[in-house]
């Protein structure tokens, strides 16, 4: 089974052992693609939903992946420890708002969905447990906004009850839905949205990357053996 491993930042991809030494085998629309293991293609498509969607579409249409796994660091809306791993159970887009025409907040009208579930999150947690790693699971909120402590962040928390906030996952989930490609994700807590130290934590996310990079490839290789 061919799996696409999708990151936003090169720093996240470089958390994989040996990844810094890899050269891309091809660059498409400015996105570099790497073969990190047999039948595992990785890319760092860039920050934000448009970049994420573009990378996911290339993985689906050009490389014909059977599954996409989105991995990276994310801000936490609760009190999980830095470096805690999270298997998202579903994604929402907090910055989609067509309430003026009667839609519920967050509805993505093209596909008529609020929630974008991931592939068997309970099974993903089991796989990680078999690898000796504990992971939480919960909803993740995606949007084109670098989250900081403010009223907007409080509104997102109170409206959508996310465990994490980030900027790419739901866009990838939406592309996967439209291409009928299973989608999974693994995130590592880099910072805490409602702590005064939020900004300092984000710019010092080495621990989060280390925890993610240590288990991500074995996790993806275990997924290759699963029946989708």
pLDDT digits (tens, 9 = 90+) for 149-168: 889 999 999 999 999 999 99
pLDDT digits (tens, 9 = 90+) for 130-148: 999 999 999 999 999 988 8
Q: Which helix (H) or strand (E) holds 116?
A: strand 116-117
Report the CATH number at residue 66: 3.40.50.1580
Q: Print the domain residue range for 19.
A: 3-223
> Phi and psi for 24 in degrees, rounded to 5?
-65, 140
The residue from 10, 12, 103, 168 that is catalytic is 12
User: From CA 193, how far away is CA 165, in angstroms rounded?
Assistant: 9
Q: Which helix (H) or strand (E) holds 190?
A: strand 183-192
In a domain, 61, yes or no: yes
pLDDT at 137: 98
Cα 24 to chain centroid distance, Å, stands at 21
Structural domain count, the chain: 1
User: From CA 40, how far away is CA 216, in angstroms rounded?
Assistant: 12
111 token code pair: 């596909």
pLDDT at 69: 98
Residues 6+ apart with CB under 8 A from 64: 2
pLDDT band at 199 (very low <50, low <70, confident <90, very high): low
- CA proximity to 66, closest of 39, 91, 89, 42: 39
Whether residue 191 lies in the annotated active site: yes
Mean pLDDT for 32-58 is 98
For all residues of the chain together, what is the average pLDDT?
95
In a domain, 72, yes or no: yes
In a domain, 90, yes or no: yes
- Measure CA of the first residue to CA of the last residue in the chain; give whole Å: 10
Mean pLDDT for 56-64 is 98
pLDDT score of 204 more than 80: no
Q: Are 41 and 5 in contact (CB under 8 A)?
A: yes
pLDDT score of 123 more than 80: yes
pLDDT at 185: 98
Longest dimension (CA), the chain: 51
In a domain, 228, yes or no: no
How many DSSP H helices and E strands does the chain contain? Answer: 7, 10
In a domain, 41, yes or no: yes
pTM above 0.85, yes or no: yes
- Which residues pair with residue 49 across a beta bridge? none
Helix (H, G, I), strand (E, B) or coil at 103: coil
81 burial type by CB count under 10 A (0-12 exposed, 13-18 middle, 19+ buried):
exposed
Whether residue 130 lies in the annotated active site: no
pLDDT score of 196 more than 80: no
């Amino acid at each position: 089974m061919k799996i696409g491993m999708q990151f936003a930042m090169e720093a996240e991809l470089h958390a994989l052992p040996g990844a810094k030494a890899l050269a891309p085998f091809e660059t498409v629309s400015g996105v570099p693609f790497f073969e990190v293991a047999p039948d595992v293609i990785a890319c760092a498509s860039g920050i934000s939903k448009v970049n994420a969607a573009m990378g996911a579409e290339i993985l689906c249409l050009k490389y014909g992946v059977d599954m996409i796994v989105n991995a990276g660091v994310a801000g936490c809306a609760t009190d999980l420890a830095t470096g805690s791993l999270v298997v998202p159970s579903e994604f929402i887009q907090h910055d989609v708002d067509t309430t003026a025409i009667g839609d519920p907040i967050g509805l993505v009208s093209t596909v008529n969905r609020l929630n974008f579930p991931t592939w068997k999150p309970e099974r993903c947690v089991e796989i990680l447990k078999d690898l000796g790693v504990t992971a939480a699971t919960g909803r993740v909120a995606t949007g084109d906004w670098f989250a900081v402590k403010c009223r907007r962040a409080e509104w997102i928390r109170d409206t959508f009850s996310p465990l994490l906030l980030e900027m790419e996952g739901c866009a990838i989930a939406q592309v996967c839905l439209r291409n009928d490609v299973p989608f999974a994700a693994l995130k590592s807590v880099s910072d805490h949205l409602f702590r005064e130290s939020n900004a300092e934590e984000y710019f010092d996310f080495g621990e989060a990357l280390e925890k993610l990079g240590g288990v991500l490839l074995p996790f993806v290789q275990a997924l290759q053996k699963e029946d989708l």
